[in-house]
């Protein structure tokens, strides 16, 4: 009986030990599985936002303005502007290209050639706010940016925004105001912001400055410094009208100002979409090589005293990207660079003697070899 009880007790201990071992192994397996499950779940959850983001990116790209749609919008704006601007096809397109490129344009010509009318027609066509700054020798920087005014009722200072706070700003006869006031435009044009009394204020997009200046031979002018000239993506001259254009202008003005009946054909959000579409236009490596070769050829000229900076090259590429959208393309051609070389570079160059930068650039682009391009 004692032996039987002992053997039973031994069998029970061995069974208990095996059961505990099994439970231990099962527990370890369960804990391992739980850890692996938690790890897999965490990885799956971490992957979800990325997958969702990828889907969102694809959806955004599909909804983005395509080159053909951009060309249609630009054509609509061009036709609307030509309801009040007779001829001047190239200047109108250059102004639009400056807006789409996210830069600013300088119009240089005699008074009464339609510079102000072009700026007003452009602002009206895109549905943006428009302000005009008539530059005079006594104009102060605060007249442009705004200032704080004391409110006697609230006993506090309130900021009153200046005319720079608009989508399209016309700085008329900018070279008639002093260099100190001219410099007030520099931060706004370069950074898209102004600093007033120590406070930085962001300008609403799109922000586009159309500056006009009279010929330097006119009395009472202050030549724009190189640093400010370099802020303009493009410069153009309106030029005198042909006889047919002059007759058409007289006919349209016979019964009033035609711009009073002009309306918006797109809105400012579509302008922003055009600017974003411009950034998606491709400049192939061969195009960039051609652009650099153009800049080097200009620097090598003996009649160039002040060559173009690297910023000029960046602006030339950006203007060419905008120009491609007019033809519904998503890539830049060498012809875009050739066509825009003078409008982008000429006003930045300092020439020796009385040589004209535009004529010199015409000679350079005519002799510069065009790189071979693969079919896009």
Tokens of 339: 């066509």
For the stretch 327-352, pLDDT in tens is: 999 999 999 999 999 999 999 988 87
Mean of pLDDT values over 45-67: 53
User: From CA 75, how far away is CA 100, in angstroms rounded?
Assistant: 13
Q: Give the rounded percent of residues in the chain with a pLDDT score beyond 90.
A: 52
Question: Which has the closest alpha carbon to 99: 114, 121, 84?
Answer: 121
What was the pLDDT predicted at 64? Answer: 81
What does the pLDDT look like over 139-161, one tens digit per residue? Answer: 999 999 998 888 888 888 888 89
> pLDDT class for 113, splitting at 50, 70, 90?
confident
Is a pLDDT exceeding 50 seen at residue 244?
A: yes
The total number of residues shown for the chain amounts to 376
- DSSP, collapsed to helix, strand or coil, labels residue 305 as strand
| CA torsion angle 86 90 92 95 (round to 10) | -160
Higher pLDDT, 85 or 26: 85
* DSSP secondary structure of 241-260: PPHHHHHHHHHHTTTS-GGG
pLDDT tens by residue, 172-219: 988 888 888 888 888 888 889 988 888 889 999 999 999 998 776 555
Q: What is the pLDDT of residue 11?
A: 54
Average pLDDT score over residue span 75-101: 95
Mean residue pLDDT across the chain? 82
Comparing CA positions, the residue from 239, 231, 229 lying closest to residue 347 is 229
What is the spatial distance between Cα 135 and Cα 269, in angstroms, rounded to a whole number?
A: 30
pLDDT at 175: 87
The model's pTM: 0.79
SS3 359: helix
The pLDDT, as a whole number, for residue 260 is 86
pLDDT band of residue 303 (cuts 50, 70, 90) is confident
The long-range contacts involving 157-161, CB below 8 angstroms and separated by at least 24 positions, are 159/196, 159/199, 159/201, 161/201
CA–CA separation, 175 and 137 (whole Å) = 9
Confidence of residue 134 (pLDDT cuts 50, 70, 90): very high
Query: Who contacts 26 (Cβ-Cβ below 8 Å, separation ≥6)?
Result: none
Check residue 40 and give its pLDDT.
Answer: 33
At 196, phi and psi to the nearest 5?
A: -120, 120
Residue 52 has pLDDT above 80, yes or no: no
Contact predicate 77/96, CB 8 Å: yes
Cα(122)–Cα(116) distance, integer angstroms: 10
Quick check: 152 and 190 in contact, CB under 8 A? no
pLDDT surpassing 80 at residue 37: no
User: Between 354 and 140, whose confidence is greater?
Assistant: 140
Q: Would the pLDDT of 256 be above 90?
A: no
* CB neighbour list of residue 204: distance below 8 Å, 6 or more residues apart: 165, 167
Mean of pLDDT values over 114-128? 92
Is the CB of residue 357 less than 8 Å from the CB of residue 345? yes
What DSSP assignment string belongs to 76-112?
Answer: HHHHHHTTTS-S-HHHHHHHHHHHHTT--EEEE--TT
Helix (H) or strand (E) holding 151: strand 146-151
* Beta-ladder partners of 106: 211, 235
């Amino acid at each position: 009986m004692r032996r039987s009880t002992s053997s039973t007790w031994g069998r029970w201990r061995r069974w208990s030990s095996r059961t505990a071992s099994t439970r231990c192994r099962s527990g370890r397996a369960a804990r391992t599985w739980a850890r692996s499950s938690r790890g897999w779940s965490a990885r799956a959850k971490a992957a979800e936002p990325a997958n969702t983001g990828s889907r969102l990116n694809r959806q955004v790209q599909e909804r983005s303005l395509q080159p053909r749609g951009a060309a249609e919008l630009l054509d609509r704006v061009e036709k609307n502007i030509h309801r009040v601007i007779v001829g001047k096809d190239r200047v109108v397109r250059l102004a639009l290209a400056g807006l789409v490129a996210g830069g600013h344009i300088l119009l240089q010509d005699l008074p009464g050639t339609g510079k102000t009318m072009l700026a007003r027609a452009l602002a009206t066509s895109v549905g943006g706010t428009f302000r005009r700054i008539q530059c005079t020798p006594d104009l102060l920087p605060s007249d442009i940016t705004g200032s704080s005014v004391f409110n006697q009722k609230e006993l506090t200072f309130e900021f009153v925004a200046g005319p720079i706070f608009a989508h399209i700003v016309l700085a008329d006869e900018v070279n008639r105001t002093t260099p100190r006031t001219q410099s007030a435009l520099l931060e706004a044009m370069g950074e898209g912001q102004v600093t007033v009394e120590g406070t930085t204020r962001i300008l609403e997009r799109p922000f586009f400055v159309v500056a006009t200046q009279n010929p330097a031979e006119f009395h009472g002018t202050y030549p724009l410094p190189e640093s400010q000239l370099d802020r303009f993506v493009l410069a153009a001259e309106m030029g005198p009208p042909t006889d047919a254009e002059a007759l058409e202008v007289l006919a349209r003005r016979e019964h009033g100002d035609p711009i009073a009946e002009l309306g918006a054909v797109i809105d400012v959000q579509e302008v922003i979409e055009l600017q974003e579409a411009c950034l998606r236009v491709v400049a192939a490596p061969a195009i960039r090589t051609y652009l650099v070769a153009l800049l080097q050829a200009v620097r090598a000229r003996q009649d160039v005293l002040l060559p173009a900076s690297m910023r000029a090259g960046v602006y030339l590429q950006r203007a060419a990207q905008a120009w491609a959208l007019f033809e519904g393309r998503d890539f830049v051609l060498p012809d875009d660079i050739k066509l825009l070389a003078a409008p982008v570079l000429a006003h930045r160059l300092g020439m020796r003697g009385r040589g004209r930068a535009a004529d010199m650039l015409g000679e350079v682009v005519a002799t510069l070899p065009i790189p071979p391009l693969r079919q896009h």
